[in-house]
Amino acid sequence: MPGPVPRRHGEPMGIIEFELQKVVNAPADQVFTRLADINGHNDWMPAKGSIRKHSEQTSPGAPGPGTTYVDQTKMGEAPGEIEVFEPSRRLVYHWWDQGRGGRLKYEGWPAYTLEEQADGTTLVRHDARIQTYGIYNLAVPMFRVMAKKERTVTLGALAASFD
């Protein structure tokens, strides 16, 4: 079970930011509910083409601000929490990875802004931010490629889960 958000040591060395968009064939409240259901991610997120293997909510109760979770990935465990929770409008996750000494290696903020369209579909604006620290600055080009691929696959799976 993840503990509190780790203390940041020093300034970030590398920052990666980008936004993707996808129209999902469902109303915003249904899209938001699916995105906020951390345990439910295992039902619709892709098994292939993703570094994520399994997600588990680690705090009790319904998802909301401060809800904690752990993602099992091909690179190890990534604890996190819900940072912003505005039903049917905006959801921001925050995950991190730290070394044995507690020093932060990198952290990310995958976020979703939902705009319901007149035809009942939802435009999902998915912005992602990753910060690297110390020696992990050297991995920024690799993280950029991996993150964009991961987020594109996730958005595709989200849309497909409503088809």
Q: What is the CATH number of the domain that holds 108?
A: 3.30.530.20
List strand residue ranges (DSSP E) for the chain, in order: 14-24, 52-57, 68-73, 76-86, 90-98, 104-116, 122-132
Residue type, 10: G
Residue 6 lies in a domain: no
pLDDT for residue 74: 86
pLDDT digits (tens, 9 = 90+) for 46-62: 877 788 899 999 999 99
Residues near 145 by beta carbon (within 8 Å), at least 6 away in sequence = none
83, part of any domain:
yes
- Within-domain flag for 1: no
Tell me whether residue 143 is in a domain: yes
- Whether 115 is covered by a domain: the verdict is yes
CA 58 – CA 4 distance, rounded (Å): 12
Structure confidence at residue 13 (pLDDT)? 59
In a domain, 138, yes or no: yes
Looking at the DSSP bridge assignments, the partners of residue 38 are none
Asked if residue 4 is part of any domain, the answer here is no
Which range of residues forms the domain containing residue 115? 17-160
| Tens-digit pLDDT string for the chain (163 aa) | 444 444 444 444 589 999 999 999 999 999 999 999 999 999 999 877 788 899 999 999 999 999 999 999 888 899 999 999 999 999 999 999 988 888 899 999 999 999 999 999 999 999 999 999 989 999 898 989 989 999 999 999 999 999 9
Question: What is the rounded CA–CA span in Å between residue 100 and residue 98?
Answer: 7
For the chain, the domain total comes to 1
